[in-house]
Structure formats: C-alpha cells, structure tokens
Structure 1
C-alpha cells in the first residue's frame, strides 16, 4: 500500500458496512463463478501522521500464540514471525510484488551482472556499514554460514524448498557473495527473507544448530529492535537497536510483547486501550473492530487491498503418516470432493465473519500467476450422491460407514480463538448433514506446529483435518512446495513441508516446470496446470480467503501497512503520543 492509504473514518466505515451488507450475496455469487471475488470499495488507511515523530516510549503488543522460539529459521509457528521486529530481509516487495533491496545494495539482474547468462549463479551485494545489533558487522560470511546451517544434517532449520536448489554459497569479499544453483530457481529473491532471516556466524560455535538451542530462541538481527528478555508465558521484551542502519530510528525505546492466549480477552483489553495492537488479528475480528471504531473506540484499521491468506482445511491423505496406507476416509478422492460441496462458505463468510472474506476456487489466486477457477458450489445433494457413489452408507445414527470404517474425523485448529470455533461449528454441521461425523479437538499451537523432533501432529501426520492459514503469496513457488512429494516429512526428511502427504507425479511435474525457468509466461502456464490438478485432487480445501486487516491504537503513530507483511515491517517508524 506504499504508505498512502485512505483514512477509514466513522462515516466511511458506516458506508462500507452498509454497502457491504447489501452487496455481499451478489459478490459471493460472482466470486464463486470466477474463482475469486473482488471486494470493491474496500477501505484502507494508514495511521495519521504527526508533524514530527517523537522519540521514546514503548509499544505494547498482545501475543495470542506464543511460539517455542522467535527465530522462524528454526520454527514455523506464527508467533515466530514477529522476528521481523528484530531481523531484516535481504529484499522486500512493494504492493505490486516488485522486489526492493533491504540488506542488499541492489536487486541482482542479468543487466547489472548479478545473474549469470545460464541463470545458475546469482551474485548478491550487501549494503556497506550494516551492523548486527551487538555491533558486529554484517558480512557475506554470515550468508555462507546461514546456508551451511541449512545444509548441516545435524541442524534443524525449517526453511522453504527454494534452499534445496542451492549447490553452494561462497563469499567473494566482505560485501559480496555468490549462490550457485543446481537448477534454475525463480525464488532467488526470497532467500533470507522474513521467514528465514540471515543468521550471525559470530554468535554460534558451529553450524549444527537445533531448535532447542537457547541462542536460537531469540534471534540476533540487524532490525530496529533487539530481543533482550523472554519470560515464558508472560512477556517478551525488545529494546531499541542502537546500531540500526537508519539514523535516528527506531523512534520507540522498545516493544513489550505480552502473552495473552485468550483471543477474546486480548481484544477486549485492546479496545480498552491496554494494548497498542495484537499479533495477530484474523478475518473474524474485522467486523467487531469496525463496529468498535464506529462506536468511538480509539483505534485505527487498515484492510488489505487484495485477498489475504486462505483458511485451509489440511486433509491428511495418509493413515497416521504411513505413506503406504491411505487415510481410511480422506484417502478417497470422492470423499474429499463431497466435503468440498458440503461446505456452506457463504454462511461462514456472511454470518460468522460479517462478510469479510472471499470465496476462492484456486490454490493460486494472487500474484502474476493467479489462476481463475470456479469454487465448488454448496450442494449437499451432490455431496450425498458422491458419498453414495463411493460406497459410504449411512448407519442408524446417520453417520456413514464403509468396510467397517466409520466416517468420523477429528477437526483441529489452535485453541482459544472463539471466532474460529464458530465456523468450525458450521463446518461440523455441514458435514453431519451429509453423514460425516466431525469431532472438534482444538489444541495449543505447539502441539500442531511443533517440529518432527518435537512430535508436532502436523509434521508427524497424527491428525485428520487441521485448519490454519497459508497462501496468497507474491510468487506461487512460496506455496506450491507444500504439496510436492519430495517435501513429505519423514525420519529422513523431518523438515518436509508436505504435511498432508499428497503424492502426485502430475502435480510434481507442473510445479517443477514452474520452478525451472525465469520466463514468467512459461511459469504462469505451468502453475495454471498445477492449480488445475490441485483443484481436481483436493489435497486440501480452502474455506475462504481472508479480507486481511490490521488494527492499532490511535496513540501509536507512524504505522504503514503493505499487502504482504502488514504493519510489522514499519516498526522502525512507529512512535507513541501521550
């Protein structure tokens, strides 16, 4: 949004709500037909700016999901991405998806000599004078070290599949390093991004860094703030980085993150002025926040211009992670298709989310390769017919059975989010209506997203249906690896990303074609094939795409948002009034 957002005042918000309610059904119908709806007139805004930022003071953030550690290099839990307060990426992207240098001095291209003619060698040049928060200089050796951590079999990083394309990383001089790929990789600008920040070589004794390493728990970075203290279950303290790369920033003395696992209590405290913001708000919060602002709450709201991440129903296709045995219920593609048609998405979006959501039909719906595919129509009769065709017969209690197996599924998400629990109940009733029993068993974040070594149920395959958000990325290659067969987790591949255990040669080939060229037209065609295979096989099912938004107390100034990382990358310019 480039920091130029329209203010959502009470009159505009009231107009938005009125128009939204009047046109929601029409928009849902059109979005289902096109695969994705556009919420026209979506309000967006930035914090009103004071003439002169004032230094000092602290912001207070409520953290709903406390992760095991804050370093996303080693932890995929959502709270770990607050590391953006302390760590900088090599590149960032503007609202249109164009990459911009942050730690890098420039974006490598063929024209500036940063990309070799065979597209296999990428030369990165760092900005001069950047320091780690402890005063040590950032050098090319840190990037070499970070790759060696990834490559060390005794280390346990959780990184994107794009790192598997790297053949070697070599420091040319203190500010220059080269990455040699073992194949063309269009994700070269996403290496060392917010989800996998560069690691400081001088902080560790070896590259064998594990997730329980106390030094890895609170990352050392080059960003505006420094992690200084963590009292588990209570609060996390960040203080101003005195060595930050931008003179006179950050303006705040620091940020206090308060662990507040009950979402509703956190929102109530936020509206009462106890918190400056919450990590994180969901689509389900937007209706209440908008109404609260109409009622005079001292808050600001910014809504993303494009659809955000999707609330996915991740379907376990294996039996307790055993790839040799299909899941007794979800392993049947007709059952997955029936579930898709049984979902009343319109009710979820309209009645639970207050209309703040989109119906999607495609797994790739943002960025240059967005694919328009129709969403499955809400059609219980069709769902019942599919289950009949598959041989699932209703028992005396109405729940279907086949070959002695009862169509009973655990449905889990992170505990403590009452809005999510509401649409879980809609899904539960939708599936009961077609003879599938759903047992809601929500658990803490660590239980779901813990690593393979920690026994995380997502990684280990110890679940039936899990629900969390993902997708809506700048580039499809950030999402598609979640479903390629080489990313299935195992003892030999504990960091694998394909936790639904989807195994499709056709999908693998389409994704490989999209990742093996820098020709955007060819990539677009390849990802269109991947999206079509995904829509046919339904390894996961999208419930809705978020109308993503952020909110903060009006005393917190200097906030801007973007379409990819929200308000968090602007923390260096935050300041408090009063």
Structure 2
C-alpha cells in the first residue's frame, strides 16, 4: 500500500464523529490545525473542518493547477542504496501530543508518527475495500454472520516477541473496556459484534462474539453483517498485549509504553522520542515483508512558516501536511518533486432546517418553521455561487466545484451524472420571483412571500487571509440576486465559538460555512442520519433515511445494488439541498528528488510500501 493509503487513508478511515470536534480553525493554511479527532473506521466517521483556510487572495493572478497533472509516485526510478536516512518533516504549528499507539491516539500529528513504525494488519484497494494483502487475512461467511481472521505466521514485534491473534483481539478488549480512555468503539465494526455492547457496559468480562481458535486464528460473530464492515469497519490494528502487561487500561494513554518506548511491527522501530518534537527510528531487519531500504527515518516537527526552507536546504526530504496555499510560491523549487492527489473532504454551505432533540437523541426536522425551509430559496442561492471561479481565484485550481455529497475521492460511488444548479444569477432571480420573494419596499432586498423582511444570518469562521474575502464573495453573490445576507454577530466567528453555536442550533444562525473530511466507507449516515448529532442542518426525511439504511444493509452487499442506492440518495440530496457542496479539494506533497519508491496514491501498491522507500544518494 502506498503512503497515501497507509497513512492518509488509514487516518481518514479512522476519523470519528461521535466525539468532540477539532479541525482547521484558521492560521496560514488549511493543514495548519491538525487536531482532527479520530476513531473507528467507516464512512460515517468524519471530522468537521473550518470553512476558512489561509490561502492568499492573490491566487487569481497565478497559474491554475489540476491535481491530475501531477505524479502520485516519485519519478526517480533509480535503485535505492539500501542505506541512508529519510528526513521527514511533519508540518505543524504545535507539538505532536505523543500518544503513540493506534488504539489510543487522538490527533493527526500522532497518527503520522505512528504510521512510520507501525502499520495496519489489513490492506485496502482503490475502492476502499479491505483486501487480503496484509499481515492478516479475513473470510466472510454471510450464512452465519461470521468473519474468520487469520494472522500470518512469523510476524514479530519490534522487541522480538511473536505476534499472535490474541494481540488483535486485545485491541477490541481494550477499546471496548469501560475504562478505555480513547475515542473509538462506537461504530458498526464494534457495536455489531456479539457481546460487545454488554462488555462495553461492564455487564460481561469478555466479548462473547470473539472465539480464539489458535495462535493465528479467531472467529468473530456479528449480530448482522453490514457492507461497511469490509470498507473500514473491521478494526485494522493489533496491540501488543505483553508490552502493556501490568498497565491499567485507564492509564495506557499516559504510560511510558505509549509515550517513551512505543512498540510496533512496521519496517522501522523507535529508538528515541523527543516529546512533541522528534522521533528517531532505525531499520527493523526482521520486518515481515523483507528488509527495509533505509538505515532509518528521522521525523521532526516543522512549522508551516519554515517548511519550505527546510525542503530547500535539505533539512526535510518529505513534508507531510504541506500547506497547499504555499505551493504556487515554491512550485519551482530545485531538487523537489511535487506529488498530488485528491483529498477525502468537501466544503459546503449548510442550512438550518430543524433542531437537535437532546432528550430523545434525534433531529427535529421542521422546515416549515425555519427561515431557510423553502428549498426554492436554497436553490436560488446555489445558482448565485460561482464555485468554479472560487476554486481558481482562491485555490489555484487545487479546489474545484463540488456537485454531490459523495465525493470523487470515492470514485466508484460518486455520481457524476447528477444535474446540479449551475452558476446563473438570472436563473436565481427568476426562481425567487416565481417563489414570491420580491422587493416590496424598494430597499434593494427581497421580502419573503408573506411580505416580511428577510434577513439571512450567515455564520462563517475566522482564520487566515482567505476567510474574509471568501465570505464576502458569497455574501455579495447573494446580495446580487436581492438577498439580504448578514454575518452572524456582524463578524467572522472564532473556531470554538463557531462550533458551539452551530452544534447548539443558535437562533442567530440560518446558514453556515463548513467542511467535512470523509471516511473510507462511503456510507453517509453518520453525517445525515436522523439520530446523529453531527447532522448539523437538522435534516431528516423518511426517504433519505430509508436510502441510507438500505445502503448499509445486507442487500447492499451486492456492489451494483449499493451504487444504485447511493446514486439515488445523491440525487435526492441535490433536489432537497439541506446543504450545498461547494468545493472538492486536492493535496500536494513535496518529495526530494533523491527519494525513490514513495507515493501518495490510493490503494495497496507493493512497490511504494514504506519498507521500499529509499534514497539514491
């Protein structure tokens, strides 16, 4: 599996949406804030990001790029020397937290560190389906709702201990334990496992649905099998039980075994950790796939303001989370090749169409009571936005017009045949006229069909050079069709306050600007389900819910049937438009030209696995 699918993909695959949010709240770039909460795998786990990143408005005068024109794999085809050190710069304006275990970490910087010395047991293809190319294989039996997991023999932890299937089972036992200090364990891959919920509640001493057959084999029994299980639902990581012997589960995240001497079974093992700043790793010669092609890897945190200089001077060979906004200024840097790929995320405009019922844990969808409840009003606002121009002006083409809520990142599931409202201000005006929104008092702004003043409160987040001009662009676009859209609180809102207001359905928010990172599974239920608190528009209809439930039901094990269901759901959401997707996005990653066998493609690629990374000088 390439670096993208091992690192970025597994991160997006584990994004959680059952806990507190953390995301891009501003700064110099979209990647500047890296504290994205993560947890179980599955498409419903996603992380809300700020809609205002730090690209400079001057992009309109610069070259327009298309991520498809970039390589996804380093073009240096030389033979690796088998020696040398790869210097990895982790772009971040904050230290990494240091919870260096896949089962326990929370922030993206920690994930990037862990991915260099540990790895998932399961691999994925380009369609985000688990494959049997990893250290562990699986076999699904739909007749009795079981999955048999078989660990390859000869897998060794960095301390020389042999891995067994018990180490995989131990991950479930830790995550499901009532004292577990982490953020995982709330999705189908766990909750559909027989006996898991009883174990989680403290009513059982073990998970009844797990049967260990021998040192290499375990059979998991589920209450039902959902398609999401094979698209990230199975937990993909082992946890060395012997390494944590004597450590209480509640104390694991802070234990020396996690922070000072973390253990994995990847191609490089940790030699030393400088808390929050650096990690030195050396070759693990007993790595199960073969001998790594480097003597070691040195990771260090590099601030966004100095990452370009670190690349230019050779202080970093690779820069993870490179700020996309800096790319146009350094695209011609000597000795560096730029890779690019689509990113699993989209930005959007959301409309408040109901409220969250905390007591009953569900959405109260009541568009008839909400200012934005008329979908013709929402449709007109979509026609007023020129998102193609925004992608070029503010993002140099590295973001582009979005269409549906299943992005091209899920290429096999994205419905590119859905017709969406095109940029057409005159059409927008016509829609409003026909729906009864007219300027009856001559002030330049339309009243609602009842003749009452219509003032739309728009919440947008502060942070970065682009936040204000982008927000003003949208406001002006809507003003041009006669809509009086005003900033909530009269200003851009700080990150924490913004999300407090959005989550609590503040009365001063009619529409808001945000973004979602998507998981490996295409299932959108976790963002738009009727009993999901992250359903911020508070949209819930029987038709939408039925389609999403069918999309993750036994009938959807037929891939073509599942595509048909999600195509129908995408079309429904364009018609209903509780949110308007605005932009899809790409990432760029710089790689020193001396580096070989390094890639950011999606899906398993044996030739660009981390143990194949090397240098030619």
Q: 1:64 matched to which residue of 2?
A: 92
CA distance 1:564–1:65, shift in 2 (3 Å): farther
Q: In structure 2, which of residues 156, 178, 187 is the aligned counterpart of residue 161 of structure 1?
A: 187
CA distance 1:482–1:220, shift in 2 (3 Å): farther
Q: In structure 1, which of residues 231, 237, 240 is the aligned counterpart of residue 275 of structure 2?
A: 231
CA distance 1:422–1:87, shift in 2 (3 Å): farther
Matches within 5 A, 1:9-158: 44-64=72-92, 66=94, 73=103, 77-82=107-112, 83-95=114-126, 99-106=130-137, 108=138, 114-118=139-143, 120-155=145-180, 156-158=182-184
Query: 5+ unaligned residues in a row in structure 2: which ranges?
Result: 4-59, 195-208
Q: In structure 1, which of residues 402, 412, 419 is the aligned counterpart of residue 461 of structure 2?
A: 412
Mapped pair 1:360 → 2:402: yes
Q: 2:415 matched to which residue of 1?
A: 371
8 A contact 1:559–1:574 mirrored in 2: yes
8 A contact 1:132–1:221 mirrored in 2: yes
Mapped pair 1:555 → 2:594: yes
8 A contact 2:119–2:266 mirrored in 1: yes
Q: 2:27 matched to which residue of 1?
A: none
Between the aligned partners of 1:484 and 1:98, the Cα distance in structure 2 is: 23
8 A contact 2:266–2:287 mirrored in 1: yes
Between the aligned partners of 2:606 and 2:436, the Cα distance in structure 1 is: 47
**1:481 match: secondary structure:** helix
Matches within 5 A, 1:157-556: 157-158=183-184, 161-163=187-189, 164-167=191-194, 168-191=209-232, 197-202=237-242, 203=244, 205=247, 220-226=263-269, 228-229=272-273, 231-232=275-276, 235-240=277-282, 242=284, 244-249=287-292, 251-260=294-303, 263=304, 265-267=306-308, 269-271=310-312, 273-281=314-322, 284=325, 287-289=328-330, 292-293=331-332, 296-304=333-341, 307-313=342-348, 315=350, 317=352, 323-324=363-364, 333-334=375-376, 336-364=378-406, 365=408, 366-372=410-416, 373-383=418-428, 389=435, 406-412=455-461, 415-416=463-464, 418=465, 423-424=470-471, 426-431=473-478, 433=480, 434-438=483-487, 441=492, 447=496, 465-471=512-518, 475-477=521-523, 479-486=524-531, 488-489=532-533, 498=535, 501-517=538-554, 518-556=557-595
TM-score (norm: length of structure 2): 0.68
Deviations 1:499-550 (A, max 9, x none): 5544333222212212113111221121122222222333433222224433
Higher mean displacement: 146-155 or 397-406: 397-406
Between the aligned partners of 1:151 and 1:86, the Cα distance in structure 2 is: 25
8 A contact 2:74–2:595 mirrored in 1: no
Q: Cα distance, 1:251 vs. partner? A: 1.4
Matched length: 512
Q: Which has the higher contact order (CA 8 A, sep 6+)?
A: 2
Q: 1:9 matched to which residue of 2?
A: none
Query: 5+ unaligned residues in a row in structure 1: which ranges?
Result: 4-20, 28-37, 109-113, 450-454, 490-496
Task: Pick the structure with greater CA Rg.
Answer: 2
CA RMSD between the two structures? 4.5
Between the aligned partners of 1:266 and 1:395, the Cα distance in structure 2 is: 55
8 A contact 1:321–1:460 mirrored in 2: no
**2:393 match: secondary structure:** helix
Between the aligned partners of 1:285 and 1:377, the Cα distance in structure 2 is: 30
**1:189 match: secondary structure:** helix
